[in-house]
């Protein structure tokens, strides 16, 4: 997960990626910051001549095991989210995470497919490349693995700018995905887990409307 040995270069990359992540929210750039951040990551790996392995997109030694761990991790997180994390958040804050954004999906297959296409490309691939592939290794060069997990997850949470209930859920999600990358050694593992976490609730809401709380 090491980027390169030049700490000054890593610091500059870290500051740039943090700026790009939040620039959209302060109206410095006109479009979603994900696009700009991805372009910067691409330029960075070209300049460093590391290729995709420079952001953790390496071929797993065991594809079957990697995919299994990603799918298992996504399903386990979703189970814990539904039956442990969300009830705990509700107990602390007095209300459950807001799922009203998903209400338009019910009964609209075209909207479902469009939503899945966006969340599986921009979120599952784009966000994993930015936050786990780039931000987490940059932070790890200065803070160590444990602290970097927490800080990168805070940035991941702030980037989404959701209400408190959803933010707590996103923070735990960021920790979960980050651990999957650190333990698995390949960005494939958190990407697969992210695919499951983003897609499974939407499909369940579509197929089982009673699961929709809003």
DSSP string, the chain: ----S-HHHHHHHHHHHHHHHHHTTTTSSSS-HHHHHHHHHHHHHHHHT-GGGGGT----S-HHHHHHHHHHHHHHHHHHIIIIIHHHHHHHHSSPPP-GGGGGGTT-HHHHHHHHHHIIIIIIIIIIIIIIIIIHHHHHHHH-HHHHHHHHHHHHHHHH---HHHHHHHHHHHHHHHHHHHHHSSTHHHHHHHHHHHHHHHHHHHH-GGG---
Q: What is the model's pLDDT at position 214?
A: 42
Local confidence pLDDT in tens for the 214 residues of the chain: 555 567 888 888 999 999 988 887 777 877 777 888 989 998 988 888 778 888 888 888 788 888 888 888 888 888 888 788 778 877 877 776 666 666 666 666 777 778 778 878 887 889 999 999 999 999 998 988 899 999 999 999 888 776 555 778 889 889 999 998 988 888 999 999 998 888 776 666 666 554 444 4
Q: What is the model's pLDDT at position 101?
A: 60
Kindly list the domain boundaries of the chain, sorted by start residue: 7-211
Q: What is the model's pLDDT at position 210?
A: 47
pTM for the model stands at 0.82
Q: What is the model's pLDDT at position 2?
A: 52
Q: What is the model's pLDDT at position 154?
A: 92
Q: What is the model's pLDDT at position 104?
A: 60
């Amino acid at each position: 997960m090491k980027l390169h040995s030049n700490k000054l270069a890593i610091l500059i990359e870290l500051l740039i990626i943090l700026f790009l992540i939040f620039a959209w929210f302060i109206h410095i750039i006109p479009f979603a910051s994900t696009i700009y951040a991805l372009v910067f990551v691409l330029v960075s790996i070209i300049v460093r001549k590391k290729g995709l392995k420079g952001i953790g997109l390496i071929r797993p030694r065991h594809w079957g095991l990697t995919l299994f761990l990603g799918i298992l991790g996504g399903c386990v997180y979703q189970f814990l989210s539904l039956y442990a994390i969300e009830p705990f958040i509700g107990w602390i804050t007095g209300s459950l995470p807001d799922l009203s954004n998903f209400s338009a999906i019910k009964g609209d297959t075209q909207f479902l497919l469009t939503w899945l296409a966006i969340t599986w490309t921009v979120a599952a691939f784009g966000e994993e490349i930015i936050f786990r592939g780039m931000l987490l290794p940059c932070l790890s060069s200065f803070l160590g693995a444990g602290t970097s997990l927490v800080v990168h997850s805070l940035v991941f949470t702030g980037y989404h700018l959701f209400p408190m209930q959803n933010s707590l859920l996103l923070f735990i999600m960021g920790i979960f995905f980050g651990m999957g990358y650190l333990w698995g050694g390949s960005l494939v593992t958190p990407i697969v887990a992210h695919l499951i976490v983003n897609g499974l609730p939407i499909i369940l809401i579509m197929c089982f409307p009673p699961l929709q709380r809003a």
